[in-house]
Amino acid sequence: MKPFLRQQLARYVDRQGELEFLLSREDIMKDMEQFLKLSREHTDVAAVASRWVRYQQREADLAGAEEMRSDPDMAEMAAEEIASATAELAQLDAELQRMLLPKDPDDARPAFVEIRAGTGGDESALFAADLARMYTRYCDGIGLKTEIMSESQSELGGYKEVVLRVEGSTQTSSGSCGAYGMLKFESGGHRVQRVPATETQGRIHTSACTIAVLAEQDEVEAAKINPSDLRIDTFRASGAGGQHINKTDSAVRITHIPTGIVAECQDGRSQHSNKAQALKVLTARIHEKERSERAAKDAAERKSLVGSGDRSDRIRTYNYPQGRLTDHRINLTLYKLDRAMEGDLGDVVEALQAYEAAEQLAALEKGLG
């Protein structure tokens, strides 16, 4: 384990002792808000500190076993202890590194996945529908729930634009992760190379879609938006939904005047529910704009290949003739496109998460260096 990590972990043990002292003080116990805040910190710190203590214990066990190897009577037992300690140390090392990485508070939140057809006309709209299906199946497979918030269908059955809402959490190698944490790396340009259904000559075309993944904000964030900054328009919904949905002005479009950001919803049966959902999407888009501006400032200091989320970035290519999926940010190529389009995205998501973790660890080491 690197020296800078050992220094960081030693601080967790010290902090655990400080917190236990603070939590035993009578004045802290009387202040319930402060007590709960310190209790939560103690839980997080103790989880790291206990693993670090165990790591040091197993290091000592390993050193003792190495000394025993020279004794013929103890050699077999020493070999077993060396194998056991080495395996556990590797596991603890990986866990501790993950636990030291900075956590994005938005990772636990529900997410909006906005898919927009780009260059390629009808073929691009059909690809947008394929992507929506791919994400829906992926989310179903890992226990996340998806619903369509709004959609604009094309003539051939694809989507000019579709917005999915994803909620829930799933277990990863780093612990529990919410919808946004699992999908945030999907933001950017997605390019498809294939023979379109509309192509009569069998020629391969290149089309593209853009995806933006936004973290849903809570009602407190929505309340911060000044109502006088909003323009709310109602209009008649289009598309499926029965007689009622098409005969009343139930669809809602909300414009945030200072930024020009717009959100609309027409899937609900009432104007009230559509307004509430549109406001959620609008709040998420405003938050994402602020996040993007912060990320742009950070990128000036440290260029990150993963997670910039710029829609203009071409992040991935889906090549049907070769059965190939390539993520350009981490130079990952998989020849399992058919399975990926059926929702088998685990290898891609895990590789992106691992890459981000390695970047964060390098930044942490640099910051402490």
User: Do 116 and 130 lie in a common domain?
Assistant: yes
Residue 277 sits in a domain of what CATH number? Answer: 3.30.160.20
Q: Is residue 308 part of a domain?
A: no
In angstroms, what is the C-alpha Rg of the chain? 26
User: Do 89 and 130 lie in a common domain?
Assistant: no
Cα 56 to its chain centre, rounded Å, is 33
User: Do 143 and 169 lie in a common domain?
Assistant: yes
Q: Is residue 11 part of a domain?
A: yes
Q: What is the DSSP string of 149-166?
A: EEEEE-TTS-EEEEEEEE
Q: Please give the pLDDT value at position 315.
A: 93
User: Do 286 and 346 lie in a common domain?
Assistant: no
Which of the listed residues 258, 279, 297 is the one where a domain comes to its end?
Answer: 297
User: Do 212 and 224 lie in a common domain?
Assistant: no
Span of 35-44, 154-163, 286-295 with lowest mean pLDDT = 286-295
Residue 210 sits in a domain of what CATH number? Answer: 3.30.70.1660
25 or 367, higher pLDDT: 25
The span from the first CA to the last CA of the chain, in angstroms, equals 15
Interatomic CA distance for residues 204 and 199, integer angstroms = 8
User: Do 113 and 212 lie in a common domain?
Assistant: yes
Q: Is residue 305 part of a domain?
A: no
User: Do 139 and 176 lie in a common domain?
Assistant: yes
User: Do 95 and 30 lie in a common domain?
Assistant: yes
Q: Is residue 314 part of a domain?
A: no
202 or 342, higher pLDDT: 342
In 142-241, which ranges are continuous DSSP H helix? 179-183, 219-223
Domain span at 47: 3-100
Q: Is residue 312 part of a domain?
A: no
Dihedral Cα 38, 44, 47, 52, nearest 10 deg: -90
pLDDT in tens, 103-156: 788 888 999 999 999 887 889 999 999 999 999 999 999 999 999 988 889 888
Q: Is residue 344 part of a domain?
A: yes
Q: What is the DSSP string of 242-254?
A: HHHHHHS--EEEE
User: Do 90 and 133 lie in a common domain?
Assistant: no
Summarize the confidence of residues 309-316 as an average pLDDT: 67
Q: Is residue 288 part of a domain?
A: yes
Which of the listed residues 82, 100, 118 is the one where a domain comes to its end?
Answer: 100
User: Do 120 and 259 lie in a common domain?
Assistant: no
User: Do 26 and 92 lie in a common domain?
Assistant: yes
Q: Is residue 321 part of a domain?
A: no
The total of structural domains in the chain comes to 3
Contact, 188 vs 316, CB < 8 A?
yes
pLDDT in tens, 129-142: 999 999 999 999 99
